[in-house]
Structure 1
Amino acid sequence: MTLEQNDLDIIKNRLGREPNKVEEEFFVNLWSEHCAYRSSRPVLTNFVTDGDNVVIGPGDDAGVINLPNGEMLALAIESHNHPSYVDPYNGAATGVGGIVRDILSMGARPIALLDPLRFGDLDKEKNRYLLEGVVDGISDYGNSIGVPTVGGEVEFDSSYNGNPLVNAFCVGVVENLVTAKAKTPGNSLLLVGASTGRDGLGGASFASQELEEESEEERPSVQVGDPFTEKLLIDCILEMAEESLIEACRDLGAAGLGGASSEMCSLGGFGAEIDLNKVHLREEDMHPLEILLSESQERMLVEIDPENIDKARELVEKYDLESNVVGEVIKEEQYIAWHNDEKVVDLPVKLLTEEAPTYNRNEKEVDRSQEISSRTTPPVEESLTKIMANPNIASKEWIYSQYDYEVQTRTVVKPGADAAVLQMDEEGIALTSGCNSHHTYLNPFMGGKGSVLLNAMNLATMGAEPIAMVDCLNFGNPEREEIYWEFKETVKGMAEMADSMDIPVVGGNVSLYNESIEYGSTVKPTPNIGMVGWIPDIEQIPSMDVSTGDHVYLYGETRPELGASQYFKEIYNSVGENPPIPTDQDTENIKKVRQIVRENDIATARAISRGGLITALAKTAIKNNVGIKTDLTDVQGELDREEIFFSESYGRFLLISKKELEIEDNLLSHIGQIQNKKLEIQLVEDKSSWGPKELKKAYKSIEKLMKG
């Protein structure tokens, strides 16, 4: 990439001279969309980022919140989309490593990972290769560093052909809080961890490009991870923080040493002077620009009082890591870098880090609804079998079974449920991630609201109250008017729903230009969310133990909202017209279900979302190896068979209890009981049934496909 002429003119006018080649490339990276959020910064102001429990909001490596038990939790989410297309294994692995270091830089011990993923159609061999490589990268790295991967989401759609989305959400318990804000001029800047090489060069600018067929030749832009060094780095940084040696800390992520050092000192209102000859290298004859911008992994920059440098370096040596003092914080707000006694960078630090001009993009509303002129309804038995075999519905156990989700011994509810649960003494936190991009595609504003609502619904199934969220906003080229419109509308919807539910947005990531020239595709708007919920008593969560005779309840109202449903996509190959519309009642339903779960003997609870009510019933039967006999005649009302079965209306839950619930609520309907044979559903006009073998065969079909 090169600087646009307008950007170059701004820089020249501010400097009163031409930037040299090193400085110009520095601006290419720090003024990239990935670092400077030039298209998104004005839009992100819609989010409410503060609250009574917010300690640190957006702007640092991770957000930090106070938990009701007095502990602090750090949370962050990031994308590693383009690198994962070029090199799926290392792209995904280093995505995990990077988000873990973001948490670490706050003085927090990482305790859980979740991975919302998106891939193209699985009938293409390339997409299966990408999926396998990404899963291997996540599992190998996460398992090696001892951080459990406890949840996530996988969605498949042709819009992700040529541009998969690999997002990583991480949370950590703060042990000794530090920030990325430099404290004092004269303090040393200590580079800790792995040596610096040429891998990852230009990663920030690379992440701001569309993918072309030749992108696989861009391997120098993809970092290579070393999880064993990362594990040592985690322990080292946490001990340095415990010994009060760290004044400020930042992960070397986008734009490498240059990005970390300039941002750290700029946040503190200071500047930095860097000696690139002091950086420990693993390759010879590296150009100063390469040293400055390399995104080699497993490296952290820490601000240290000079009196503590010897002690800090001794501690680094204890963990068999390398470290060097590569510069210092200076009072003048200038960024200066030297190489071989030559000043290769001399720039106002704020110009680099804060003054990239934002874009006032044009936008154009698009009507994406599709009328289905002839709906020839197939037999419902056939429809459900098709839906259960769809990769978006089918079992993902073959993926999460590769992850070590029990390491650290906190995991109470494991992958496969709507939300993971981690124990925090007698209390707990619930974690969930993802969104429904089909909803957002058909109606970005309502889909944005629904993305927040869906995650809160998932938390409610564990009796958890949402207390904070982060978001990873994955969109196409914002220079296209319809893409910028869907981005703005999605964010507005998310912000409105989060604010109405009192969920602060404490951080996030924007990933734009997710398009593939090779496939001529643009990703559907994918606002993946990472959300944390609080459980005051870990003993209150559902037992997850379902047995014959248990009572089955439906909570919430099913509306004729088949637009953007998995059913319409599978059966009619259409997005339809009427998307699910989140309502105030839906948010109230979340509160009611959370209360029901906390106060009653609930065996299991499931949010009804992708695939509708019938899919939730089928998944429950398969997961627990039981049958379910249900009668929906009282709740069907004016709905036709397709609507009652496959509508994806928000605010609905499937609840199973050992005893009949003595609750007076007109939205709670007793619809059946657990039995030891088929799934049977009685409607007003007919009865349908499915045997366990045929449902399970369809549900496990993706495993057969991936295992060849």
Structure 2
Amino acid sequence: MTVHNDTVDNAKATPEQEQPYRELGLKDDEYQRIVDILGRRPTDAELTVYSVMWSEHCSYKSSKVHLRYFGETMTEEMGAKLLAGIGENAGVVDIGGGDAVTFRVESHNHPSYVEPYQGAATGVGGIVRDIMAMGARPIAVMDQLRFGPADAPDTKRVLPGVVAGIGGYGNCLGLPNIGGETVFDETYAGNPLVNALCVGTLKVEDLKLAFASGTGNKVILFGSRTGLDGIGGVSVLASETFEEGAERKLPAVQVGDPFAEKVLIECCLELYHSGVVVGIQDLGGAGLACATSELAASGDGGMRVNLDAVPLRAENMTAAEILASESQERMCAVVEPANVDRFMEICAKWEVGAAVIGEVTGESDRLVIEHNGEVVVDAPPSTIADEAPVYERPFARPEWQDGVQEFGGVVKPATLAEAWLRMVASPALCSRDFITEQYDRYVGGNTVAAHYADSGVLRINEETRRGVAVSADASGRYTYLDPNMGARLALAEAYRNVAVTGARPVAVTNCLNFGSPENPDVMWQFREAVHGLADGAVELGIPVSGGNVSFYNQTGETPILPTPVVGVLGVIEDVADAIRHALPAGGEDVTLLLLGETFDEFGGSVWQEVSGAGLTGLPPRVDLANEARLAEFFAGNGEVLAAHDLSEGGLAQALFEMLLGSGKGAEIELSGVCDDAFTALFSESASRVLVAVTADRADTAVQRASEAGIPVAVLGSTNSSGEISVAGESISLVELAAAWSTTLPGLFDHAFAPNSPA
């Protein structure tokens, strides 16, 4: 078999010509390993395929040694309900009654800095296709966003484009955006984080996996045509740092078409229901190079592909360009020959382009790709998809870690009211309406809770009214101070947010955003966070179903705050029983209870940020057994009118958000919380929930909490005053709401161009 180099300038191609492997992100020893695998110099197409598939984003070559800890710690009991887990496109959980739910969160950080609108839009599109590839219907999205300081000039460039991209793509798909976070910190100024989460539903028997099986089965590429956009986008961008102040020639960011993806969703679902799909893989990072090599590597044979059959939208594309293109809205399926005609009929019905580009062969562990009559790739697919170098990067606890953990104490304000107003108006806690109003939260008619809610709640089965609750959380500030505890706190908050809706948490996903893995400080942070999250999941008895790693998030030599985003999925048997997070307008007066203990814990807190004290100290401690007790308390608890978890901003923020819009005030007594009123209001101790119950059920709720081993304090009752009275001071809800609602509009009012590319 003759293998030819497929160079842009064939006339100048000689065996002696040096190949630009360093420019493709490969190191000298990695290139030599490719030569050793092939037994010869790689073609340009092979070099491209290996470079994108061995990139940090696709191969996890710096994180694999630590990610194994998730599998090592997962017990058989924890994984009993997992239909698909780590290593698949998304985790899938059997939730009973024949229903399954899949969810995953992924990063699109670097593309969103280069081109905010398309970077964020295609991030949504990519995570939706991950869910589609499991055989599921996508039903909702969420987003986790991190930007530089809210008043920084570049934030005004990046944030509006990102928000418009998320809204523009998700709204066109008809998927409700049911929650998320927007965080501001100077470390994200040159490296924003755009993490997108998607949830999907399917019947257990409809599960699809990515593998090419059955000699003679056809490989069909369907969806949009392949173009020059996004070549190396995710795979290359995700392995680069942005040099501060330097101009860089970056690959084009992918361009998304949400209307094409909407049709592709419906087409895929009909293909699945018709039983014509053996294996399926979406085309995202590394494009066709990834789809073909991963399908072949996980199958029981080899694969032969002819790139001449790939529908193109650009002329004279080389094999390397076709394979590395990250054009959006594409899928790759393995189909039995007898079902090809039916497959094509369904695609034609939905006006989705489709082409047979290859077939599964009996050549075990061989991927052969032709272009223009020449073989341009002939390699073992497992070496491409599964055998990238695995690095045991040096890691060590930073010398500066002890210094940042030294806490100088809290600078208290003259009055509680002054602190409260400063807190609610801060970029950390102010209203996100200016952002979230660009998202459709209720399209589809199955959203039960989204606006201001601790968790998004969705109905997934109209007959049984079974539903799911989903939350994703992270604190880079906590994780910077103590990476292990920071990851545990992110898990605890997401778990608690789900639990307070009355849902039972059943699975975890994650997106681990860190700086350069070549920095021992960063690798220590990463390892500690992985262990904190894995050990925490074991303590809670719920599996980590999958995740994503995003390295090289830094500007120059300055890494971002380590940011492990943790998502938790919970199941609620009847969404009519879901507990709301806030009191309704015009309701009766209720009794307010605080569940959990409050300590003097201000390390990494919002008050520390607002008061200008710097980022020092230790974050709150969390005992996950307390989180499990809270989850048991809320599961099926019909006596709770409303419940709101306490996290950033502490009790003060939770009180404000629970009373907001209700027309109520409250008389609050803090003596049962702790001795110091400021600590009681603004401490960020974990495992705490603010609860509202009717007066006649207050004693029962207190008794149930006490019997469950949950500390409980009666805070007082609501009233019609419209003011919160506490520790001899009163503050108007109207005044708090005004301060809370005006911050972001004041900063970004002239920067937004909603629903159009920025």
* Amino acid of the structure 2 residue aligned with 1:316: C
Alignment check: 8 A CA contact 2:405 2:618 kept: no
* Amino acid of the structure 2 residue aligned with 1:303: V
* Amino acid of the structure 2 residue aligned with 1:348: P
Give the corresponding residue for 1:669: 713
Are residues 1:182 and 2:212 paired?
yes
Task: Give me the whole-angstrom Cα distance separating, in 2, the residues matched to 1:8 and 1:251.
Answer: 27
Range with greater deviation from structure 2 (374-383 or 87-96): 374-383
Alignment check: 8 A CA contact 2:500 2:631 kept: no
Q: Could you state the TM-score of these two structures normalised by the residue count of structure 2? A: 0.89
Give the corresponding residue for 2:371: 339
Are residues 1:690 and 2:731 paired?
yes
Deviation of the 1:312 alpha carbon = 1.0
Task: Give me the whole-angstrom Cα distance separating, in 1, the residues matched to 2:105 and 2:281.
Answer: 16
* Amino acid of the structure 1 residue aligned with 2:578: I
- Where does structure 1 lack aligned partners over 5 or more consecutive residues? none
Q: 1:567 to 1:51 in 2, by over 3 A?
A: same
Deviation of the 1:593 alpha carbon = 3.5
* Amino acid of the structure 1 residue aligned with 2:321: E
Are residues 1:202 and 2:232 paired?
yes
Q: 1:374 to 1:524 in 2, by over 3 A?
A: closer
**Among 511, 514, 518, the residue aligned to 2:553:** 514
* Residues 188-215 of structure 1, C-alpha deviations (whole Å, 9 max, x = no match): 1100010000001012122111123588
Deviation of the 1:218 alpha carbon = 5.0
Alignment check: 8 A CA contact 2:672 2:714 kept: no
Give the corresponding residue for 1:415: 451
Q: 1:230 to 1:599 in 2, by over 3 A?
A: same
* Amino acid of the structure 2 residue aligned with 1:143: N
Give the corresponding residue for 2:567: 530
Task: Give me the whole-angstrom Cα distance separating, in 2, the residues matched to 1:374 and 1:442.
Answer: 15
Deviation of the 1:219 alpha carbon = 6.0
Q: 1:183 to 1:214 in 2, by over 3 A?
A: farther
Deviation of the 1:602 alpha carbon = 2.0
Deviation of the 1:335 alpha carbon = 1.4
Q: 1:72 to 1:600 in 2, by over 3 A?
A: closer
Task: Give me the whole-angstrom Cα distance separating, in 2, the residues matched to 1:2 and 1:429.
Answer: 41
Deviation of the 1:370 alpha carbon = 5.0
Give the corresponding residue for 2:3: none
Q: For 1:214-363, list aligned pairs within 5 A.
A: 220-331=251-362, 332-363=364-395
Task: Give me the whole-angstrom Cα distance separating, in 2, the residues matched to 1:371 and 1:339.
Answer: 62
**Among 18, 23, 34, the residue aligned to 1:11:** 34
Deviation of the 1:179 alpha carbon = 1.0
Are residues 1:152 and 2:152 paired?
no
Alignment check: 8 A CA contact 1:389 1:702 kept: no
Alignment check: 8 A CA contact 1:182 1:265 kept: yes
Q: 1:216 to 1:141 in 2, by over 3 A?
A: farther
Matched position secondary structure for 2:619 = coil
Q: For 1:357-396, list aligned pairs within 5 A.
A: 357-366=389-398, 367=401, 369=404, 371=406, 373=408, 375-379=410-414, 380-396=416-432
Alignment check: 8 A CA contact 2:214 2:300 kept: no
* Amino acid of the structure 1 residue aligned with 2:366: Q
Are residues 1:572 and 2:612 paired?
yes
User: How many aligned positions are there?
Assistant: 699
Matched position secondary structure for 1:572 = coil
Task: Give me the whole-angstrom Cα distance separating, in 1, the residues matched to 2:718 and 2:746.
Answer: 29
**Among 663, 666, 681, the residue aligned to 1:645:** 681
Percent of residue pairs bearing the same amino acid type: 38
Give the corresponding residue for 1:630: 668
CA RMSD of aligned residues (A): 1.8
* Residues 61-80 of structure 1, C-alpha deviations (whole Å, 9 max, x = no match): 11111012320112121111
Q: For 1:42-61, list aligned pairs within 5 A.
A: 42-48=65-71, 51-61=79-89
Task: Give me the whole-angstrom Cα distance separating, in 1, the residues matched to 2:496 and 2:247.
Answer: 39
Range with greater deviation from structure 2 (536-545 or 277-286): 536-545
Deviation of the 1:634 alpha carbon = 2.2
**Among 455, 458, 461, the residue aligned to 2:494:** 455
* Residues 411-435 of structure 1, C-alpha deviations (whole Å, 9 max, x = no match): 1112311011111332221111121
Task: Give me the whole-angstrom Cα distance separating, in 1, the residues matched to 2:386 and 2:283.
Answer: 18
* Residues 488-529 of structure 1, C-alpha deviations (whole Å, 9 max, x = no match): 000100001111111111111100000112xx5321111112
Deviation of the 1:375 alpha carbon = 4.6
Are residues 1:444 and 2:483 paired?
yes
Give the corresponding residue for 2:514: 475
Range with greater deviation from structure 2 (392-401 or 570-579): 570-579
Q: 1:194 to 1:632 in 2, by over 3 A?
A: same
Matched position secondary structure for 2:643 = strand
Matched position secondary structure for 1:320 = coil
Task: Give me the whole-angstrom Cα distance separating, in 2, the residues matched to 1:653 and 1:616.
Answer: 9
Task: Give me the whole-angstrom Cα distance separating, in 2, the residues matched to 1:392 and 1:562.
Answer: 15
**Among 142, 145, 158, the residue aligned to 1:114:** 142
Are residues 1:600 and 2:641 paired?
no
Deviation of the 1:350 alpha carbon = 1.0
* Residues 210-239 of structure 1, C-alpha deviations (whole Å, 9 max, x = no match): 123588865643100001111111111110
* Residues 517-557 of structure 1, C-alpha deviations (whole Å, 9 max, x = no match): 2xx53211111122110112323222554435211110000
Matched position secondary structure for 2:151 = coil
Deviation of the 1:590 alpha carbon = 2.2
Give the corresponding residue for 1:618: 656
Task: Give me the whole-angstrom Cα distance separating, in 1, the residues matched to 2:748 and 2:105.
Answer: 28
Matched position secondary structure for 2:49 = helix
Matched position secondary structure for 1:316 = helix
Are residues 1:609 and 2:609 paired?
no
Task: Give me the whole-angstrom Cα distance separating, in 1, the residues matched to 2:25 and 2:672.
Answer: 64
* Residues 416-457 of structure 1, C-alpha deviations (whole Å, 9 max, x = no match): 110111113322211111212211111000111111111011
Deviation of the 1:302 alpha carbon = 0.5
